[in-house]
Amino acid sequence: MRIGFIGLGKMGSAMARNFMLASMIEAFGEAFGLLRKAGVDPHVFLEIVNSLFASPVYANYGRIIADEQFSPAGFALKLGLKDVRLALQTAEECAAPMPLASLIRDHLLSAMEHGQAEMDWSSMALVLARNAGL
């Protein structure tokens, strides 16, 4: 029985959408880690991002990550991990490599190990901050 994107319709679209959101969270986490390490307030950068993309999703997640306000969760980290795992499973079935999804899965697993399962999935940025020595 095939459980991948083909034949899943909206479910496949939701997996792809959540992968894109997780990729954005990964990018914010890396960028904010770099900025903080360099002594730059990530809120300043967030203003630039918001003017470039004019996206409520970027504005909302960017603010959550810059403020490090991961509770209460809008979408629990453990659910984000489930979705990324489903995307990777589908990618394997379709022989479509997703190296960024693999990296995100590893970062989500690290966050789980650090007790972040019930926090917002954007708390994955804390893993990236730890990796940057913050």
Q: Where are the domains of the chain?
A: 10-131
**Of 2, 16, 10, residue with least CA distance to 98:** 16
pLDDT at residue 113 in the model: 97
115: left (phi over 0), alpha (psi -120 to 50) or beta: left
pLDDT value, residue 16 = 87
- The pLDDT, as a whole number, for residue 5 is 47
Residues 6+ apart with CB under 8 A from 48: none
Q: What is the pLDDT of residue 70?
A: 98
DSSP code of 94? T
Model pLDDT, residue 7: 53
Tell me which long-range contacts 113-118 makes (C-beta under 8 A, separation of at least 24): 116/70, 116/77, 117/76, 117/77, 117/78, 118/71, 118/73, 118/76, 118/77, 118/78
Predicted TM-score of the model (pTM): 0.89
What are the tokens at 39? 């002594």
Can you read off the two tokens belonging to residue 23?
A: 């990729």
Q: Pick 10-131's CATH classification: 2.40.30.10, 2.140.10.10, 1.10.10.60, 1.10.1040.10.
A: 1.10.1040.10
Q: Are 124 and 108 in contact (CB under 8 A)?
A: yes
pLDDT of 13: 78
Mean pLDDT in runs of 10 for the chain (134 residues)?
A: 50 83 97 96 95 94 97 96 93 92 98 98 97 94
